[in-house]
Structure 1
Amino acid sequence: MDERTADLAYAAGWAMLRRSPDRAGRALFRRLADRSWCARDGGTRGLERNLRRLLGPAGTDAQLRALSKAGMRSYMRYFYEMFRLPAMGREYVLSHTRATGVDALQEHVRSGRGVVAALPHMGNWDHAGAWITMQGTPLTTVAQRLNPESLFQRFTAYRESLGMEVLPLTGGSATVGTLARRLREGGLVCLLADRDINGTGVEVDFFGEKARMPSGPAALALNTGAALMPVSLWYDGPYWNIRVHEEIPVAPGLSRTHRIHGTTQALARVFEGAIAEHPEDWHMLQTVFSADHDEDRARRRERENRAMLRALAPDRGREHAGRSG
């Protein structure tokens, strides 16, 4: 699918699913999830690669496949509800949300102390953002750029329509500075924090292995004095669940680097417990664990080497023909 087609497909999805019967839309996305799972496509394989760490060495292939099937259904539920959310209405969203620990977060904001809400890719983070803004707490978040640019702008406009301020992860003007300013003003900053996208994160222990996570949430808390509060999300039948965990204090240490690493490790421990409780709602199809990053790099190098050899092959053939003549 080319970039223009992808953009048009997302636009059509938003338009059609807002008007379609809810039951039919959910059934469609459930079938899409099952089709991806049955085909064991790249997304399903990536999810299983991560979920295998949760199950541990005693986990069986049957357990892994059952968990990944539930995980793909949960993941596609997120996409369906993302398309559908603007049509759900305020009362529906509020009545179908169960939240705990939010009072402490809102009290920090009311007192003028900023909050860094750090989330794993669980449940429906777009819904959580919409819900907290409906509670009267505006937020700022960061979004990964998508191709084409028109698709990124469509996602940005969608989230802004829900009451969020959205900054680009890359290609923006002083995104980090804007986040720090919002926190010093006593605002709420929400960041997905269980995947190192740009390669500048830190290595932590996670489900018994090394994994890479972004250092941004810890660094922002250290730099601004904001409260770092993990947030976990999961589904329970028709309900969305939000849990704001207790604040993670910035870790002590002899250097800034040690403090950020220690704080990020503490955050990873909270994520670990939350994901273990609701593993089917962890939508992590991308690479997280360091061993997988190493394996991915080795595969890329191998592909590049093969491509280079193929590119050189015609030259070698002409050279050989010249010597023979």
Structure 2
Amino acid sequence: MREKLVESGYAAGWAVLKLLPEPVVGVLGDRIADVTWRRRGRGVLQLEKNLARVRPEASPAELGELSRAGMRSYLRYWMESFRLPVWNDRKIADRMRVDGIEHLVAAMESGRGAIIALPHMGNWDLAGAWVVRHLGFNFTTVAERLKPESLFDRFVAYREGLGMEVLALTGSDISVIGTLARRLRQGKLICLVGDRDLSAAGLPVEFFGETTRMPAGPAALAQRTGAALMPVTLWYEGPVLRGRINPPIEVPTGLDRSAVNVAMTQRMADIWAAGIAEHPQDWHMLQRFWVADLPSTPVAQAAADEKSADSTSDARQGEPR
């Protein structure tokens, strides 16, 4: 029953919100965010706990206001995403401002392929649509399967409609890593959301002074294929989504493959941390993120992850392990 209600909610969002005037949708998103914030549910409390690592000097009142702004930013993402399928090329271009475009263009023109790696910031879907329609680079990404399957199919169709090739992380006969590597060797672009992987395969990194785990995929693919790995951060600035494409991360020399993956992933984490510190309200991390917040045993962790699974968050995942 819960799965059916979730799917119905998403279906209604895509069907109804695109018909409403944009100012009305903005006000509606803020009101939903404020109601959710005042209820102090698990996601809001975890967001606040995560933001406390980003802004350790903040008072409880300041953290509360920051988490409220974070929930408004998070709902803005969803309101925009529900309306994105009806936005034309001009509107998408008008809503994006990106620094560092030259790094991506140079990598693509060189034929080496490129990996864009992002944290859960801003509006990943809008940025992706802008890359396709404004820069002309179609790309491949990865999506975790959602329940029910029909909801996953909706998200795949939505993102394919924006010009993305979407690979299912699990449940298919194809090798995700193999397919991504093949795309890169063809000189193509892949985009991955990669700031959270709490599985045993995640690489340990220091993030705001504490240990977390991030996916090995982006660094491993760059090392394996020679593609340029470029961390990106996104944030809102008034009506516009801002982005920063950072220069490619250099592949360290004199280290074995495993150490190179760790070093490159740590460098990626450092760049993301700098961007999140500048715009913490636009980091949409409503789940456990640091190792210190995880249950102490694998069984307890698996149970907690199942209990706290949130379809709206899972829908944004895209990280090959």
TM-score (norm. length: structure 2): 0.90
SS in 1 for 2:106: helix
| 2:240 aligned partner | 239
CA contact (8 A) 1:248 1:267 kept: yes
Query: What do the CA deviations read for 1:173-232 (whole angstroms, capped 9, x no partner)?
Result: 211110000001111110011100544111111001111111110000010000010011
Task: Give the letter for the 2:187 counterpart.
Answer: G
Comparing 192-201 with 241-250, which one deviates more in the overlay? 192-201
Comparing 224-233 with 86-95, which one deviates more in the overlay? 86-95
Query: What do the CA deviations read for 1:132-180 (whole angstroms, capped 9, x no partner)?
Result: 0002111111111110010001000000000000111222321111000
What's the CA shift for 1:251? Answer: 2.6
What's the CA shift for 1:294? Answer: 3.7
What's the CA shift for 1:95? Answer: 1.4
Structure 1 residue ranges without an equivalent (≥5): 304-325
CA RMSD of aligned residues (A): 1.7
Matches for 1:101-180 after TM superposition, within 5 Å: 101-134=100-133, 135-172=135-172, 173-180=174-181
What's the CA shift for 1:9? Answer: 1.9
CA contact (8 A) 2:295 2:301 kept: no
Segments of 4+ moved more than 6 angstroms: none
What's the CA shift for 1:253? Answer: 4.5
Query: What do the CA deviations read for 1:253-305 (whole angstroms, capped 9, x no partner)?
Result: 532111111110111100110100100000011121110124586865999xx
| 1:310 aligned partner | none
SS in 2 for 1:248: coil
Task: Give the letter for the 1:16 counterpart.
Answer: V
| 1:41 aligned partner | 41
How many angstroms apart in 1 are the aligned matches of 2:188 and 2:112? 7
SS in 1 for 2:294: helix
What's the CA shift for 1:66? Answer: 0.9
| 1:86 aligned partner | 85
1:295 to 1:44, Cα distance in 2 relative to 1, 3 A: farther
| 2:2 aligned partner | 2
TM-score (norm. length: structure 1): 0.89
Instruction: Name which one, 1 or 2, has greater alpha-carbon Rg.
Output: 1
What's the CA shift for 1:5? Answer: 2.4
| 1:13 aligned partner | 13
CA contact (8 A) 2:116 2:232 kept: yes
Comparing 173-182 with 293-302, which one deviates more in the overlay? 293-302
Task: Give the letter for the 1:90 counterpart.
Answer: D
Higher RCO (Cα < 8 Å, 6 or more apart): 2
Comparing 171-180 with 287-296, which one deviates more in the overlay? 287-296
1:253 to 1:202, Cα distance in 2 relative to 1, 3 A: farther
| 1:317 aligned partner | none
What's the CA shift for 1:94? Answer: 0.5
SS in 2 for 1:200: coil
| 2:308 aligned partner | none
* Percent identical: 50
| 2:195 aligned partner | 194
CA contact (8 A) 1:25 1:80 kept: yes
How many angstroms apart in 2 are the aligned matches of 1:156 and 1:94? 23
Query: What do the CA deviations read for 1:76-105 (whole angstroms, capped 9, x no partner)?
Result: 000010101112221111012111111221
1:32 to 1:262, Cα distance in 2 relative to 1, 3 A: same
How many angstroms apart in 2 are the aligned matches of 1:301 and 1:126? 29
Query: What do the CA deviations read for 1:29-63 (whole angstroms, capped 9, x no partner)?
Result: 1111111110111110111121110112x321111
Structure 2 residue ranges without an equivalent (≥5): 305-321
1:237 to 1:301, Cα distance in 2 relative to 1, 3 A: closer
Aligned length: 302
How many angstroms apart in 2 are the aligned matches of 1:223 and 1:93? 34
Task: Give the letter for the 2:106 counterpart.
Answer: E
Task: Give the letter for the 2:189 counterpart.
Answer: L
SS in 2 for 1:189: strand
